[in-house]
Amino acid sequence: MKTAEIRSRFIDFFVKHQHVDVPSASLLYNDPTLLFVNAGMVPFKPYFLGDEPAPYDRAVSAQKCVRTLDIEEVGKTTRHGTFFQMLGNFSFGDYFKEGAITYAWEFVTGSEEDGCLGFDPETVWVTALHGDQETIDLWQKVGIPRERIQERGLKDNYWHMGVPGPGGPCSEIYIDRGPGFGADGGPEADEDRFLEIWNLVFQQEELSAVRAKDDFDVARQLPSRNIDTGAGLERIALLKQNVANMYEIDEVYPVIQKAAELSGKRYGDDHTDDIRFRVVADHVRSSLMLMTDGVTPGNEARGYVLRRLLRRVIRSMRLLGVSAPVLLELLPVSRDLMRVSYPDIDAAWPRVAEAAEAEEKSFRRTLQSGTVLFDSAVDDARSEHVTTLPGDQAFRLHDTFGFPIDLTMEMAAEQGLTVDRARFDALMKEQKERARADAKSKKGGAASLEAYRELREAGEVPFLGYTDLDVSTRVRGIVADGVVVDRALDGATVDIVLQETPFYAESGGQDADRGVIRGDGFSLNVIDVQRPVPGLVVHRVEVLGELPVGASVDARVDGIARHGSCQAHTATHIVHAALRELVGPTATQAGSYNKPGYMRFDFSSTHGLSDQLKAEIEGRSNEAIADNFAVTAQEMKLEDAKALGAMAMFGEKYPPIVRMVELAGPWSRELCGGTHVATTAEIGMLNLLSESSIGSGVRRVEALVAADAFSKFAAERALVSTLTDTLRVQPDQLVGRVERLVTQLKDAEKQIARLNAEKLLASSATLVEQAETVGGVRYLGVSTPGVAGGDLRTLVLDLRERLGSGPAVVALIGGSDKPTAVVATNEAARGLGLRAGQLIGLASAALGGKGGGKDDLAQGGGTDPAAAPMALAAVRSALDSRG
C-alpha cells in the first residue's frame, strides 16, 4: 500500500464520519514557541485552548511536521526522522474517549476492501496512562484483551507540546511485528518489535509550565474536552509495505537508491554506510520540505536547522566516497516523490534548487579549508595520546572556516575522539561579548575585552544611580584604543571606569544615561555607558582638559534625561501589563527599548491588534498612569520572585538574587534592573503610535510618553483643525469627506490608467515596424521608459500577436528608477528551444538584477535604468548565437 494511498484512506475514512478535511499548514506556522510545526495538532492549538472558536466540531488532517531534537539518532533507529507526516483526527468538544477509540479500532483493523488498514486484530497492543481505568475498559469493549493493554507513566502516556499549552492523558496503539524484530512482552519489552503507529490524546488540561516530559504544572481544565490524535504515516507505511524501517518506504527509499548509485556502494552491505544512506534520505526530504515552505540556509534559528541538515547530507555523501556536488542530484528525486501529495513543490523548485546549490558550494569551500586543520588537530591529539580535541581548535574551525560545533563533534566521534565543549563555549561567549562591545561603541574602535578584564579585577563597580544622581568618586582606569593608559589628553574620546557610578549602563531595553564628570582641571562629557564585561560599568567620555588615572571626580547624571528614561521605562511595564490583561497571558515580552519620551515593546502574538484593541490598550495604560500606582522595587531570590508571578524575559539568564519591580501588586511584576518613576502619575500620559509585525509570531507597539505624548496629541489636533478648515466640514464629518475624496481620486487614477493602456496599444503598430530578423527569429526589443507593471505585460503580449505565427521574441524594458523587463515568446519560437524564462535572466543580469517566469512569458528587473540598451542587446545576442 503506497504512502499516498494510506494518507487518502485516512482522510476519506474520517470525512465519511463527518470530519472536515483541513489541509496541512506550513511548517513555519506562526507560533512563537516553535521553530517548526512539530505535531499535527499545532494548527488547532487556539481551538483546544479556547482562544478562538473552532469553525468545526470535527477535523481530519495530514500535517507536515519537523522535529530535530533527536537529529543524532536519525538513521540509527526505525523511529527517528526529522520530517514526517502526522495523520490526525480531532474533536473540539464533540466526541471524547469512546469515540476516538472506536474510530481508531475500526480504521486500524477494518478491511482494506472497506477503505481501512486491515491490520490483524491479534497484532494490536495499546497503552494507557497508569490508573486510567476508563480508557482500559473502552479498549476491552472494542475487543482488545486485558493482557494486551499496558499501563505506563506520565513520561510515556501523557502528551504535551513541550511548552505551555494543551495536554492530556494519551493512549498509544502498537503493532506487533513478530519475533524476528525482538522480544515478546508488548511495548514495555521492546518498542522495535512493537511499533507505535498512533497516539490518541485526550486533551483536557492547559499546562502553564513544562519542565520535562513528566514534570509540568497544570493551569486549568480546558474549556472543553477534546480529541487530538497523531498517526505516523511513515510508520504505518513501513508496516503496510513490509520493509524494515521508515527510510525504506516508497516516498524515501529512491533517494537511498540514488545515493547508492552516486557512491557505487550498495545499501545493506555495511552497517555504518547504511546509517549514512538513511541520514541522506531523511535529510534530503526534510530540506526539500523546509525550503519549499520558505526557509533558507542561514546562521540563525530555522535557517541554521536547514543548513545543518543540508551539510549533514553533503558530509554523509563524502563519507560514502562522493566528493562531487550531490544536492541537485538527490533533491530532484525527493521532489518527484513528494510532489504527488504536495504540488506546491514544483512552483518552489527554482528557488529551492538555487538555494541548495549555493549552500553546497559554500560548504564545499568550508570543508576543503577546514578539514586540513581538523586532520592536523586529530594527528596532534593522537601523537600526544589524548582523546579530546582542544576547544581552541574547535573554536578556530568555527570562527575561521565556519564549521558548526556539532559537525566538529561528529567528525571527532568518527575518529574516536571527543571535543572540549566547555572551552569552546567559553570562547564563543567571549566572542559574543566582544561583538556586543563593538556594536555599542558609538565612536572610534571598540576597546579590547582584555583591557576591561584587567580593570574588572579590581572589583565590581557599584551602581548607585537608583538613589543618587550626583556621586563623588575617583577614576579607577582609562582605556584608549583598546589599551589601559594612565591619562587622557584634551579632545580625546576614551572609556573610563569609576570606583562607583550613578550612571545607568544601557541594558534591559533602557538607554544609557548622559551627564558630566568633573575634576580638578578637566571636564568629561558622558556620551555612552556600557557593561562590556559583567560587573564593570564603562563610561565613554569626551575629554576637556587633561584626565589622570586616580583623579577625584564629581559624577553627575543629567537629571532631566534620567527622569525621561524613568517615565518611558515604567510606561513599558504598564503597556506590558495592559497587553497581558487585554490580549491574554500569551502576550509575553520579546524585547523592548525606551529612552526619554519614547518606548517600544515587542511581544509574542500570532495576530495583530485591531484598532479597537489598540485604543483599549492605550486607554488602559493611561488609566493606570492616572491611578498613580506606587512603583516599588525589591531584591529577592529568583525562585521567590517567580513564585510571586514576576515576569522574566524569555531566554534571559538571571542571577540567584534578582530585582523585582512592582506596580499595583500582581498587576505588574517584572524582573528588572532599570530605573523607574516613584509613581505612575509622573508619566503624565501615553500616546500609542503604532502596532506592527517584526517577525514570525512577534509584534511591536511604539508609543510616546510624557511631554512628547502631549506634543503629538497637540499636533494631531492642529492637523484636524487645518483639515476641517480646508475641507469646510465639522470634525465629525472629516472622515466621510476624506473617504469621498479618496474614492474620487481612485476613480480618476483608474480612468487615467485605462487611457494610458489604450494609448500604448494604439502605438503597437508603429513599434512592430522596428522588429528585425535575428537568427531566423523575428525580434522586437524596445525601451519604453515609464511603462511598468500590467501595462508593460499587456503591451508585450499585443506585440507578440502582431508579429505573426512565425518564430518571434519580444523584449521590453520599462519602469523608471528601477527598470522592469518583460520577455515573451510565441509557440514557434518555443519550438526552436527559445524560452522566455531563460532570456529574461540575460536581460535582468544586464540591468543588475534577476528575473524568472514561464517559457512563454517572464518578468524581471534590476537597478540600472541606463543599462536598458545592454539588456536588449543581450537578448538579441542570444538569438543571434543560434543562427
Q: Is the distance from CB of 881 to CB of 776 less than 8 angstroms?
A: no
Q: Is the distance from CB of 570 to CB of 604 less than 8 angstroms?
A: no
CA angle 324, 329, 333 (to 5 degrees): 155
Read off φ and ψ for residue 402, nearest 5 degrees. 75, 20
CA of 797: how far to CAs of 145, 149, 248, 861, in Å? 71, 69, 49, 18
Instruction: Map residue 231 onto helix, strand or coil.
Output: strand
Q: Does 676 count as an annotated binding residue? A: yes
Residue 512: DSSP 8-state:
P
3-state helix, strand, coil in the chain (%, to 5): 45, 25, 30
CA of 140: how far to CAs of 119, 154, 574, in Å? 17, 22, 56
Q: Is the distance from CB of 495 to CB of 505 less than 8 angstroms?
A: no
State the CB neighbour count (10 A cutoff) for residue 675.
22
Phi-psi region of 18 (alpha: psi -120 to 50; beta: other; left: phi over 0): left
Burial of 540 from C-beta contacts in 10 A (0-12 / 13-18 / 19+): buried
The three three-digit cell numbers of residue 810, written as one number: 519580444
| Residue 258 to residue 330: CA distance in whole angstroms | 7
Alpha helices in 325-388 (DSSP H): 327-338, 344-383
Place of cell 487645518: 722
Residue 453: its H or E element = helix 449-456
Closest CA to 839 of 868, 817, 802, 810: 810
Phi-psi region of 72 (alpha: psi -120 to 50; beta: other; left: phi over 0): alpha
Q: Is the distance from CB of 812 to CB of 779 less than 8 angstroms?
A: no
Q: Is the distance from CB of 166 to CB of 222 less than 8 angstroms?
A: yes
| Residue 833 to residue 615: CA distance in whole angstroms | 60
Instruction: Map residue 328 onto helix, strand or coil.
Output: helix
Alpha helices in 264-343 (DSSP H): 271-292, 301-319, 327-338
Q: Is the distance from CB of 111 to CB of 101 less than 8 angstroms?
A: no
Name residues whose C-beta falls within 8 Å of residue 597's C-beta, 6 or more positions apart in sequence: 564, 567, 568, 704, 705, 706, 707, 708, 709
Q: Is the distance from CB of 489 to CB of 533 less than 8 angstroms?
A: no
Q: Does 672 count as an annotated binding residue? A: yes
| Residue 850 to residue 859: CA distance in whole angstroms | 9
For strands 58-66 and 83-92, give the pairing: antiparallel
Q: Is the distance from CB of 841 to CB of 855 less than 8 angstroms?
A: no
Beta-ladder partners of 240: none
Closest CA to 661 of 581, 741, 597, 571: 571
Closest CA to 488 of 511, 460, 522: 522
Say which amino acid occupies 435: A
Q: Does 563 count as an annotated binding residue? A: no
SS (H, E, C) 8-56: HHHHHHHHHCCCEECCCCCCCCCCCCCCCCCCCCHHHHHHHHCCCCCCC
Q: Does 17 count as an annotated binding residue? A: no
| Residue 161 to residue 164: CA distance in whole angstroms | 7
Residue 402: DSSP 8-state:
-
Instruction: Map residue 168 onto helix, strand or coil.
Output: strand
Burial of 574 from C-beta contacts in 10 A (0-12 / 13-18 / 19+): buried
Residues of each annotated binding site for Zn(2+): 569, 573, 672, 676
Residues of each annotated binding site: 569, 573, 672, 676
